[in-house]
């Protein structure tokens, strides 16, 4: 009986760890993901190569997620799909208000940077923005394809210094600790009953 509790506990913990990993990736990246050592931005059926760096503070070190420092930041979006070249692309950075996607209200009121829709036939959108203060933001990249809008939304923080955000890890770790404690004490209680 004890062996059954242990196997069940291990299966549960492995499942929680896998679930937590997927949850953290979704929470952290939104439309951004790492694949083949390349940061990819998914916009509907299309993909772009995302590169960000801060020339003054981190030299040529690239980032894919959170921006390590405040200050001048350069971002390049290079089309991976050639089909993007004749389409319009719009880029917007807004303050993260905590609202659900699409429920932010008037975007102009919370926009910190906006590049209107334009065709980039060279296959590359490059822009820079100076972040004067730390904070949480959301990047929105919109591609319009024959009247259909594809929007990629990716939350990010500025001024993290490359550190992880505690609130991202707190709840999954708490669930694992509680679940591990439950199975530990259940197993111990079962052993005592068997003796």
Q: Which helix (H) or strand (E) holds 160?
A: none
Q: Which helix (H) or strand (E) holds 13?
A: helix 2-29
Question: Along the 195 residues of the chain, how does pLDDT read in single tens digits?
Answer: 445 555 666 665 555 555 554 444 444 445 656 665 578 999 999 999 999 989 888 766 788 878 889 999 999 999 999 999 999 999 999 999 988 877 888 899 999 999 999 999 999 999 999 999 999 999 999 999 988 999 999 898 998 765 444 444 555 566 666 766 666 666 677 777 776
Nearest to 64 by CA among 54, 50, 76: 50
A 10 A CB-CB count for 55 gives 12
Listed by start position, the domains of the chain span 1-30+166-195, 31-164
3-state secondary structure of 1: coil
pLDDT score, position 29: 43
pLDDT score, position 32: 57
pLDDT score, position 100: 84
pLDDT score, position 188: 72
pLDDT score, position 22: 45
Asked if residues 104 and 97 have their Cβ atoms less than 8 Å apart, the reply is yes
pLDDT score, position 95: 94
pLDDT score, position 49: 94
pLDDT score, position 6: 59
pLDDT score, position 66: 86
CATH node for 31-164: 2.60.40.1220
pLDDT score, position 56: 87
């Amino acid at each position: 009986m004890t062996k059954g509790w242990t196997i069940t506990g291990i299966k549960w913990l492995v499942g929680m760890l896998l679930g937590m990993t997927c949850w953290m990736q979704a929470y952290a990246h939104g439309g951004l993901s790492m694949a083949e050592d390349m940061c990819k931005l998914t916009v509907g059926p299309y993909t772009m190569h995302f590169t960000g760096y801060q020339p003054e503070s981190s030299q040529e070190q690239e980032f894919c997620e959170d921006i390590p420092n405040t200050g001048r930041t350069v971002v390049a979006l290079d089309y991976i799909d050639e089909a993007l070249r004749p389409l319009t692309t719009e880029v917007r950075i807004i303050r993260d208000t905590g609202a659900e996607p699409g429920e932010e209200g008037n975007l102009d009121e919370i926009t910190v940077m906006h590049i209107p829709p334009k065709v980039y036939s060279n296959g590359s959108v490059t822009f820079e923005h100076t972040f004067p203060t730390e904070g949480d933001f959301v990047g929105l990249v919109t591609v319009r394809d024959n009247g259909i809008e594809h929007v990629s939304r990716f939350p990010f923080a500025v001024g993290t210094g490359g550190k992880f955000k505690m609130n991202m890890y707190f709840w999954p770790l708490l669930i694992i600790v509680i679940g591990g404690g439950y199975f530990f004490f259940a197993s111990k209680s079962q052993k005592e009953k068997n003796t």
